[in-house]
Amino acid sequence: MSVLGEVPQGLPAFAIPWITTADIVPVLIGGCAVALVSFADTSVLSRVYAARTRSYVDPNQEMVALGAVNLAAGLFQGFAVSSSSSRTPVAEAAGAKTQLTGIIGALAVALLLVVVPDLLKNLPTSALAAVVSASAIGLIEVADLRRIYRIQRWEFWLSIACTAGVAVLGAVEGIGLAIVIAVIELLWDAWRPYSAVLGRADGVKGYHDITRYPDARLIPGLVLFRWDAPLFFANAELFHDRVLDAVVSSPTPVRWLVVAAEPITSVDVTSADMLAELIETLHAAGIQLCFAEMKDPVKDKLKRFGLFERLGDATFFPTIGTTVSRYLETHAVDWVDWVDWVDERR
């Protein structure tokens, strides 16, 4: 039967670790991998147990503490330090509630190394594995997995892939696989975001998606188009195509195309070039491109790209309502808002 074996006696000595130039790259690669696993382990465990006790966890504070303790461990030839998915459940099962548990545990280990290092040399490793396994089972939140599956299935499969990756490939490879899948999903959502043509639904404030409000009224000659994502190289062409589709689908000849830009949090160079092309295309068709509710940082980017001056300050509006009012006034369009109709009846 495999046993723990002898434990070196005494506390580790202080020493500043030095490496040769040839070791810098391997150490950096290994250090980054250890840091990734350590932070992932610490982040997951802290959030799980904080949720159980309704406590708040500051990730920045966790990172500072993790870096400080690993720096100290390196000066005493210690192993990389992180929260432990094995010791933490054991401590909780034993009734631990505060950081005092860690202090007492550290003192107990130091006492064991100095006084009785041979005390546990005949302890079967299977006994340690049984203690860890029995406690770690409590980390598996089956109810949470079922809830995630109902709400967002891709996140459920992401958790399954991460678990399988760690079990089959190893900790670093498994976490790396989960990160790659998450990034792909993020890019996919940003690449094909939701967009909508907005109309005025009677009895409801604001302008809303006409697919959700089929009875919403459209303003003759005005298309209100909403894009629910940042504009960047991956979705610029799709934005261009959907805007033109909205123009073609309009039941009346279009004079103004207004982008409800509040969800657009960023514009890159590729999308700026696309907007420049879109401006030319719409102008050639006699259509004015306008923006409503665009955030000032995004406006600043358009100024750097030269698009703000090209469109003119008069084509940027603080709200959709002011845009509609200006359009109705400019083109003398006979269109009565339901709010105005209610006010007249009063």
C-beta of residue 7 within 8 angstroms of C-beta of residue 120: yes
| DSSP H or E run through 197 | strand 195-200
Q: What pTM, to 2 d.p., does this model score? A: 0.65
128 plus 159 within the same structural domain: no
pLDDT average, residue stretch 70-77: 86
134 plus 145 within the same structural domain: no
271 plus 325 within the same structural domain: yes
128 plus 145 within the same structural domain: no
132-183 confidence digits (pLDDT tens) = 677 666 667 778 788 888 888 878 888 888 788 877 887 777 777 877 887 8
Would you call 335 helix, strand, or coil by DSSP?
Answer: coil
Which domain, by its residues, includes 26?
1-138
Q: Which of 149, 173, 191 is the last residue of a domain?
A: 191
243-264 confidence digits (pLDDT tens) = 999 999 999 999 999 999 999 9
114 plus 167 within the same structural domain: no
Number of domains making up the chain: 3
Q: Which of 174, 191, 208 is the last residue of a domain?
A: 191
9 plus 72 within the same structural domain: yes
Q: What are phi and psi of 83, to 5 degrees?
A: -65, 155
Termini Cα distance of the chain: 91
- Residue 162 CB burial class (10 angstroms; 0-12, 13-18, ≥19): buried
154 plus 126 within the same structural domain: no
Rounded Cα–Cα distance for residues 345 and 279 (Å): 41
40 plus 180 within the same structural domain: no
319-334 confidence digits (pLDDT tens) = 999 999 999 999 998 8
80 plus 48 within the same structural domain: yes
pLDDT average, residue stretch 284-303: 95
Predicted confidence (pLDDT) at residue 341 exceeds the cutoff of 60: no
Outline where 152-258 has alpha helix (H): 153-168, 171-191, 236-249
- Residue 155 CB burial class (10 angstroms; 0-12, 13-18, ≥19): middle
Q: What percentage of the chain carries pLDDT values higher than 70?
A: 94
99 plus 180 within the same structural domain: no
CATH classification of the domain holding 265: 3.30.750.24
Rounded Cα–Cα distance for residues 70 and 77 (Å): 10
Question: What's the pLDDT at 139?
Answer: 64
Handedness of CA 20, 22, 24, 27 (dihedral sign): negative
Q: Which of 176, 191, 206 is the last residue of a domain?
A: 191
According to the 3-state scheme, what is the secondary structure of 261-323? Answer: CCCCCCECHHHHHHHHHHHHHHHHCCCEEEEECCCHHHHHHHHHHCHHHHHCHHHEECCHHHH
Number of C-beta neighbours around residue 11 at 10 A: 11
262 plus 294 within the same structural domain: yes
**Rg (Cα) of the chain, in Å, rounded?**
30
